[in-house]
Amino acid sequence: MNKKAVRTYICVFVVVIIFVLGVINSNRSGRRTTEENEYVLHTRQSDIDYEGILSSEYIIHDGLYYCVLKKATKNGTISIPVSVNLMTLEAKRICEIEGCNHDDGEFLCPLDSLNSSTNMCISDDGNLILVQKNKDWLFHILRYDLHTHEVIELFSTTADEPNIICCNNGVIYYSLLDAKDSKLPKTIYGIDFKTSEIVYEKYVPQDFEIYLIQNRYICAKYESECMIVDYSLKTIYASINIDGELGTWYYDTNAEEFWVSVIDYQREIGYVIKCDMNELSFETVNIAGSNVYYFQITNTRIYYSPFDPHYYGNSRTRGAKGVFDYSGGKIYSIDREQNEISSVLIYDNGETNVLCTRTSKYSILSNMLLFYDIKVCKDSEGGYEYCYFDLSSDLYKIAVDINTSKSSLIIPPD
């Protein structure tokens, strides 16, 4: 072989190698693309980015998303607790009590409620605890076993609506205000939901708020202090001064971190604090240097909306609060570890729906953005209202695929 032939041979060999490597590589990325597509298609099976993140804004249990939808019926507007399949977006009644027709015009399904409460939690062993208002106008705390479909009343009260704090270690914790005398202290109860026994009872000042009870600690707020305390509420292990009210919280069971937002509505200022539950120390989190109204963490990302109120107008029923979309309808995303580097606008809803009221927020689960279908309506006197409070209408949820912007409605079942 002469030199030229050798060179040609080497060149051909190199080209063949490059081609083969290219094919292998394209196959690899081809496989990866398919996997990514499967991620999008099979949200609840393959994407675990929110696993281990307990939230005040969503309940995920056994791969299903639990929420409350509303429907106008002969009994008035009723709240229906549902479980949603995140792939098909079909909402199913949670009630599978044998022989229950749910709503026949006379009888109210035992899990339905005459108020609009979304006040519920699910224990690790599959007990749904919910607050329900029945035709007797009393508030009932019910336990519904998702496996045996047995429903048991744990407690009922003529007082104000019980506020469920959490289910922890077989105990449901809730706070209760006296409806008749607003000056009386508030009570925090814990009920063993197997025996219905009261196992925890503490009287606290009215403005003492409990946000989370973990196995060892309680996270609470009193006056301008957010703190980690013991069950007796006597020992403070960590605390931080805050200027505003506490908003949405998340507890990351993997990192053992408690995250919560602080909001001052008057000054339109919001930020996020977190507590390392091992070190028992608080710090302020800088989320892209932003003034944060609402946020959500997953295992790897932070989603947030800056405080950017879109003011619609005065409201007859809402007084000085008026009608606002506090987030301005925008959601940004940023890496949780390197959150100062770059944030990406992932959603902008324009002015069609209200993403963030004071009481209703959004959640992002994998590629799915979920929020209540709340529109702004004008009343006969020219004031504005959230149509959420229009009791003649049904209440849906909107699901938006944040990759494709395709949106769907999650509607209440029959």
Work out which of 95, 129, 131, 146 binds Zn ion, going by CB under 5 A: 95
CA dist., res. 334 & res. 15, Å (int): 41
The single-letter DSSP state of residue 395 is B
Phi, psi of 381 (to 5 degrees): -95, 10
Does residue 369 touch Zn ion according to CB under 5 A?
A: no
Does residue 100 touch Zn ion according to CB under 5 A?
A: yes
Q: Which strands sit side by side in the sheet containing 218-222, from one edge to the other?
A: 209-213, 218-222, 225-229, 236-241
Min dist CB 91 to Zn ion, Å, is: 14
Question: Of 163, 168, 167, whose CA–CA distance to 186 is shortest?
Answer: 163
Work out which of 54, 109, 164, 263 binds Zn ion, going by CB under 5 A: 109
- Which range binds Zn ion by CB under 5 A, 100-108, 197-205, 345-353, 360-368? 100-108
Min dist CB 323 to Zn ion, Å, is: 35
Q: Are the beta carbons of 83 and 116 closer than 8 angstroms?
A: no
Decide whether 47 or 103 has the Cβ nearer to Zn ion. Answer: 103
CA dist., res. 266 & res. 264, Å (int): 6
- Which range binds Zn ion by CB under 5 A, 49-57, 103-111, 154-162, 355-363? 103-111
Binding residues for Zn ion, how many (CB under 5 A)?
4
Min dist CB 142 to Zn ion, Å, is: 12
Neighbours of 21 (CB within 10 A): 10
Min dist CB 86 to Zn ion, Å, is: 23
Phi, psi of 35 (to 5 degrees): -60, -40
Does residue 130 touch Zn ion according to CB under 5 A?
A: no
Does residue 151 touch Zn ion according to CB under 5 A?
A: no
Does residue 71 touch Zn ion according to CB under 5 A?
A: no
Sequence letter at residue 389: F
Decide whether 100 or 114 has the Cβ nearer to Zn ion. Answer: 100
CA dist., res. 323 & res. 384, Å (int): 6
Structure tokens at 218: 């309680």
Does residue 227 touch Zn ion according to CB under 5 A?
A: no
Min dist CB 97 to Zn ion, Å, is: 5
Decide whether 104 or 283 has the Cβ nearer to Zn ion. Answer: 104
Structure tokens at 208: 């003492």
Footprint of Zn ion (CB under 5 A): 95, 100, 102, 109
